[in-house]
Structure formats: C-alpha cells, structure tokens
Amino acid sequence: MGFSQLPKQPVIITCAITGHRTNRAIAPVPLTPEDQAQSAQEAVISGASIIHLHVRGNNGEESLAPERYYEAMQQQSQPNFSSLI
C-alpha cells in the first residue's frame, strides 16, 4: 500500500525533543529552556501536537528538579505555542 492509499484519518504526532538520557555526544539535543522552547516550536510548526520533554540541569544531564520544568514550561507558554507538553 502506498502512502497515497493510506486512510485519511486524524493523527496525533508526539515529538520527544530531548530524548531520554541523551547528551550532545550522542545527538545535538537542546539543553537550556530557551533551546528546548525553540526545538519544541520547530516541532509544532512541523506538525507535532504533543511535546515530550526531559529537562536538563546546568551540567547538561537529565534533571528532575521542579524548577527546571517550570523554567522550560514558562519558555514554551509563549503566545502562538499550541501544543501539549
């Protein structure tokens, strides 16, 4: 079955912009809240409606600190940002 023959049903696209336990030695993941907001916005423009996010600490490693999530959410709560995080 070719792409043009697929049923035309709505889909939800999720984008994991930072991966899990990924670092820049493996892939060019966004580390700062500002970089994450930019990557998330690019994913939304490309069709994603859900952003899956693992925030990073100042050392670039994955963080569970609530304040880092708050910073990332604030950056991604700008006008014209229409995705679930």
Q: What is the pLDDT of residues 23-67, one digit of tens each?
A: 667 778 888 888 888 888 898 888 888 888 888 888 878 888 999
Q: CA-CA distances (angstroms) from residue 57 to 3, 15, 32, 67, 73?
A: 41, 21, 8, 10, 15
- Enclosing domain of residue 23: 11-75
* Predicted local confidence at residue 36, as pLDDT: 87
| Number of domain units in the chain | 1
In a domain, 2, yes or no: no
In a domain, 59, yes or no: yes
In a domain, 84, yes or no: no
Q: Which residue has the higher pLDDT, 22 or 36?
A: 36
Give the residue from 85, 24, 8 showing the smallest Cα distance to 50. Answer: 85
In a domain, 51, yes or no: yes
In a domain, 41, yes or no: yes
Residues 6 or more apart in contact with residue 38 via CB below 8 angstroms: 30
In a domain, 6, yes or no: no
